[in-house]
């Protein structure tokens, strides 16, 4: 059996411990590292090449969206799962644009996190049901009058400077 290596990145220790508690007992899964901020997550992902990286969006230093972009560059085989409190359509678009393959709300983690990690470890995507509905609604309303078409494309550094 192949081991699934998981990196957990969240600036709140209680969240990291909770995620670890949910995943630790799963056979064949190993928490290979934890990170408390975005730059540390990128460095550890590049060095350890985990199968799945679980990222919070709101981390100090380098936020989860920019960290996801950099992790996808540094460790292209690592699937990124965003675990967050945020559920707006714009945040979902930003998460998808950053290259994340999954999106779980922290309020749904107890129910969905194991399934999400399992899906990403098998090279599939995973979105909680509420987020999936928002994605479908956004897709269906695309092109409607009043919808914003193209998004500006910024470099990694431009996004980082803008967010700071």
pLDDT in tens, 39-94: 999 999 999 999 999 999 999 889 999 999 999 999 999 999 999 998 788 888 89
Q: Mean pLDDT over all residues of the chain?
A: 86
State residue 131's pLDDT score.
75
Residue from 22, 10, 75, 18 nearest 44 by CA: 75
State residue 83's pLDDT score.
94
* Domain locations in the chain as residue ranges: 4-163
What pTM was computed for the model? 0.82
Beta carbons within 8 Å of 34's beta carbon, 6+ residues apart: 7, 8, 9, 16, 20
State residue 150's pLDDT score.
47
- Report residue 126: phi and psi, to 5°: -150, 130
State residue 61's pLDDT score.
87
Assigned CATH topology for domain 4-163: Rossmann fold (3.40.50)
Q: How many CB atoms lie within 10 A of CB 13?
A: 10
- Radius of gyration (C-alpha) of the chain in whole angstroms: 15
At residue 138, does pLDDT exceed 80?
Answer: no
């Amino acid at each position: 059996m192949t081991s699934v290596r998981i990196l957990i990145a969240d600036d709140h220790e209680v969240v990291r411990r909770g995620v670890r508690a949910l995943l630790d007992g799963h056979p064949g899964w190993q928490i290979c590292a934890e990170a408390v901020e975005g730059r540390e997550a990128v460095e550890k992902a590049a060095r350890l090449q985990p199968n799945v990286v679980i990222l919070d969006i709101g981390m100090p230093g380098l936020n989860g969206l920019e960290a996801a972009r950099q992790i996808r560059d540094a460790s292209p085989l690592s699937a990124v799962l965003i675990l967050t409190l945020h559920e707006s359509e714009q945040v979902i678009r930003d998460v998808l644009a950053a290259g994340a393959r999954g999106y779980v709300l922290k309020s749904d983690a107890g129910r969905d996190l194991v399934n999400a990690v399992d899906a990403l470890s098998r090279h599939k995507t995973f979105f909680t049901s509420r987020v999936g509905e928002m994605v479908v609604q956004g897709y269906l309303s695309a092109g409607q009058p009043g919808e914003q078409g193209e998004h500006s494309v910024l470099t990694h550094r431009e996004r980082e400077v803008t967010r700071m």
